[in-house]
Structure 1
Amino acid sequence: MVESVDGVGELLEDLKKSTFEKYDAFTVGEVFNMKPDELPEFIGETGHFSTIFDFSAHTLTDGEHGWYDAPKLEFAKWRAAIIQAQLETQKYGFKANIIENHDEPRGASRFLPSYAQTPDGIKMLGTISLLLRGIPFIYQGQEIGMKNAKWNSMEEFDDISTKDQYHTAREAGLSDQEALEVCSRMSRDNARTPMQWTSGENGGFTKGTPWLKVNPLFKDVNVEAQEQDPDSVLNYYRKLVALRKSDELKEVFTYGEFLPEYENVDGVMAFYRKDESKCILVAANFGKDAATIKLKSEIEKYGYRTV
């Protein structure tokens, strides 16, 4: 933990015993700057919380001085961060797996290359998140594949940190347009635009004036349209959740070990979920070109079928 919060463990433990523990409550913490050996203090049977959010891949695009110098996300580093977090965490308990939240840009725009920001690419990203070991969280709009909005001026933003980052970028020498593009890409207001329910007025969210403009993509990306499309992102998410909770597979997807695989194959994120009776291979190709993988003896041992 950072020095400024030394002693917070005692406070959190007192909070747990005085409140959460009495009701067997499920609790989630946001913890940053944590060392791997501190993990059991925060999760598991004796941890301060039931789980904590996994931000390991999200901090890869943190800039040294601000959003304007944020490094471009590299797939290999993203994959390595997730794998490391999974291997460290499964020794003690579960982390909460997230793609996006109210304080970050949309995951489809952030974690997918432009060529993969399609319904199939968004489904692929969701598959990885929901089938990793841990507790998957779905943020509103993620299940229909909402992306970052198009921002035409700084006046359209509401978030104070976005405005601060704009000024930081300008002071660093970026032009007005360049600073706007940085904020458009990184602002958490992307995750705070109204939920897109229909193709009607304000995306069906309200007949009043929303606090932020509706993402212009609402005409095509909305719940109403996806309800009617069996191949939509929304219905795919429903199938994923049903698969994870099915009587046949819920045990292995909940408690099964996480084992990374094919780490030497460019663009491929793959892993096994394995317990004593089942071994599930999850593989996704984030690359632009087709990738070939050879099934290993681990799968042949159990026999295989697609699900």
Structure 2
Amino acid sequence: MAKQWWKDSVVYQIYPRSFMDSNGDGIGDLKGIISKLDYLQTLGVDVVWLCPVYESPNDDNGYDISNYQSIMKDFGTLADWEELLKGLHDRGMKLIMDLVVNHSSDEHAWFVESRKSKDNEYRDYYIWRPGQDGHAPNDWGSFFSGSAWQYDEQTEEYFLHLFSKKQPDLNWENPKLRQEVYDMMKWWLDKGIDGFRMDVINLISKVPELPSVVEGNHDSYHFGGDYFMNGPRVHEYLQEMNREVLSKYDIMTVGEAIGVTPEEAALYVGEERNELNMVFHFELMDVDSGEHGKWDVKPWKLSDIKRIIKKWQLELQDKGWNSLYLNNHDQPRMLSRFGNDTVYHKESAKMLATLLHTLQGTPYIYQGEEIGMTNVKFASIEEYKDIETLNMYQEQLAAGKDVDSIMNSIYVKGRDNGRTPMQWSSDRHAGFTKGMPWISVNPNYEQINVEQALQDPESIFHYYKKLIELRKVHNVTGYSNYRALMEDNDRIFAYIRSNNEEQLLVILNFTGEPASFVLDEDIRYQRNTLLISNYDAAESEDIRHIELRPYEARVYKLLKKQ
């Protein structure tokens, strides 16, 4: 596969509201981020992905944009943003921005015009339909609970919103709307940004007839994903976007793609397809979801994690590029979810990091992951801020579910787990703000913080730093084949990454118990070198049989036999 700078990069995701507050109003901001650029440079990341900082009423924390070419006052000014871009570029880092164009805010000028009358020139920028016998046009449900349709009295029609009712879906069937989006993208790219992370980009094409999931049904909501995920014109739109905009710049693009399979992903990221560089898929993020979806929590199984990762590694091999992540602003903390955030806090955090940084693809680090930040358990629903969580709570309460059971789902899966303020120090509010933080700080900040991590040579932070350095030295971490080992073992995740020059052997114990690793007999090598491990390990140890400690991780370079 062709070498590209974004394949050799490690991306750091910043959720600006929760990263660093510079002015004491309790909300993270651009100047706060600027003050921490040296920290990011010390970590060694190449790219910063900045979650939305555009003007927004903040119904969905900035993912409801009212002006795509203006900065939200909470975060600062365009001049602050330009200073941030320069600060990153001066340090050899790049910046990618969030592109949110499946929907806008209902306070965007386009929608304000669109709802005025049925013959308004902006009417067709959104998806409007008349009702049916006093009901919504179809039975689609919103990702954020309830119907995906909102009735508007002004013109006596409904508009589609797959997310909040303050996030009306844009109508990509309209070429004028598409051109407005492309012009806006060029405006940011001409300012010097290095690419886009595209929010729910595989939802932009809907089946034109907008049929109900259950024919004739209007009394209940159903997930209409078959009619708006990977829709009929999505690849046409993305190839047009690539032709009009993306191909004219040396940038990286990653699309959030809900529900894609590896086969579908290959259509988005295939090297000859001229669409996107990578997608974020959700198959791994659904590994602990029951039949009723995200909030129906079931225990995950290592066999499922191994199967999913193998599938994506093999099926995109030589076709396209993977994105590697285990948490972000929409997901709980990976350490609490897949590791052990108490007894083996440090060991399991390092083990999970080893997995992400030794697979084929570009690793994404979510802020705080590199110091081992964990999920939070707020005492009551009043402390939660996330619209998805609050809507689900009310819906399940109304359906008769008990509070403890609802809160338990929130503790495990709620998006606010990843949105508590970044823990910089053991000072008040974790050094995030001198004011009252917009959402409470995780109480464990006195034990888990950047200041402490920087001083401890054995910290999770320093382990991440070493992993990032290893990727720069060993091509095999990115451009190479994947072979699964010990596939039936329910404790150990092990694999070989190999190309013509070198082989890496990765061994991970995913449990809090000892586990025995046995190397396949057909793997021949002259000698082995231990590149990184999260426990002290003897270089002379025979790697054909290793007794692993709880959450132990080791990566060996194997010199092939001639």
2:298 — aligned with what?
A: 71
SS of the residue aligned with 1:27? strand
2:267 — aligned with what?
A: 41
The match for 1:110 among 323, 331, 337 is: 337
1:289 — aligned with what?
A: 513
Deviation at 1:291, TM superposition (A): 1.6
The match for 2:435 among 198, 203, 208 is: 208
Once the two structures are superposed, the pairs formed by residues 269-284 of structure 1 within 5 Å of their partners are: 269-284=493-508
Please give the alpha-carbon distance, in whole angstroms, between the structure 1 residues aligned to 2:476 and 2:456: 30
The match for 2:484 among 260, 264, 269 is: 260
1:60 — aligned with what?
A: 287
SS of the residue aligned with 1:137? strand
Amino acid at match of 1:167: Q
2:340–2:348 Cα contact (<8 Å) kept: no
Q: 1:265 to 1:116 in 2, by over 3 A?
A: farther
1:244 — aligned with what?
A: 471
Please give the alpha-carbon distance, in whole angstroms, between the structure 1 residues aligned to 2:308 and 2:526: 29
What do residues 61-115 of structure 1 show as CA deviations (whole Å, max 9, x unaligned)?
2343354422221221122111111111213121110010001111111122567
Does residue 25 in structure 1 map to residue 251 in structure 2? Answer: yes
Please give the alpha-carbon distance, in whole angstroms, between the structure 2 residues aligned to 1:178 and 1:263: 34
Amino acid at match of 1:282: V
* TM, length-normalised to structure 1: 0.93
Identity %: 36
Which range moved further: 194-203 or 282-291? 282-291
Give 1 or 2: higher helix fraction: 1
The match for 1:301 among 519, 525, 528 is: 525
1:28–1:53 Cα contact (<8 Å) kept: yes
Please give the alpha-carbon distance, in whole angstroms, between the structure 1 residues aligned to 2:386 and 2:426: 26
2:259–2:282 Cα contact (<8 Å) kept: no
The match for 1:6 among 189, 207, 232 is: 232
What do residues 230-282 of structure 1 show as CA deviations (whole Å, max 9, x unaligned)?
00001110011111112xx1x11120111111112221111111011211100
Q: 1:137 to 1:276 in 2, by over 3 A?
A: same
What do residues 178-234 of structure 1 show as CA deviations (whole Å, max 9, x unaligned)?
212221221111101111111102111111222110011111100000000000001
SS of the residue aligned with 1:161? helix
Amino acid at match of 2:430: G
1:29–1:49 Cα contact (<8 Å) kept: yes
Q: 1:222 to 1:41 in 2, by over 3 A?
A: same
Which range moved further: 130-139 or 52-61? 52-61
Deviation at 1:150, TM superposition (A): 2.0
Please give the alpha-carbon distance, in whole angstroms, between the structure 2 residues aligned to 1:33 and 1:128: 23
SS of the residue aligned with 2:505? strand
Deviation at 1:299, TM superposition (A): 4.5
Amino acid at match of 1:218: Y
The alignment yields a C-alpha RMSD, in angstroms, of 1.8
The match for 1:128 among 348, 351, 355 is: 355
Please give the alpha-carbon distance, in whole angstroms, between the structure 2 residues aligned to 1:79 and 1:194: 32
Please give the alpha-carbon distance, in whole angstroms, between the structure 2 residues aligned to 1:210 and 1:302: 56
Please give the alpha-carbon distance, in whole angstroms, between the structure 1 residues aligned to 2:398 and 2:494: 42
Larger Rg: 2
Deviation at 1:17, TM superposition (A): 1.2
SS of the residue aligned with 2:266? helix
1:100–1:107 Cα contact (<8 Å) kept: yes
Please give the alpha-carbon distance, in whole angstroms, between the structure 1 residues aligned to 2:234 and 2:344: 41
Which structure 2 segments of 5+ residues have no match? 1-201, 203-225, 532-562
Please give the alpha-carbon distance, in whole angstroms, between the structure 2 residues aligned to 1:8 and 1:122: 37
SS of the residue aligned with 2:365? coil
Q: 1:177 to 1:228 in 2, by over 3 A?
A: same
2:349–2:372 Cα contact (<8 Å) kept: yes
Give 1 or 2: higher strand fraction: 2
Q: 1:30 to 1:302 in 2, by over 3 A?
A: farther
SS of the residue aligned with 1:38? helix
Please give the alpha-carbon distance, in whole angstroms, between the structure 2 residues aligned to 1:207 and 1:115: 29
SS of the residue aligned with 2:287? helix
Which structure 1 segments of 5+ residues have no match? none
Once the two structures are superposed, the pairs formed by residues 146-225 of structure 1 within 5 Å of their partners are: 146-225=373-452
Q: 1:144 to 1:298 in 2, by over 3 A?
A: farther
1:56–1:85 Cα contact (<8 Å) kept: no
| Residues paired across the two proteins, number | 304
The match for 1:141 among 352, 364, 368 is: 368
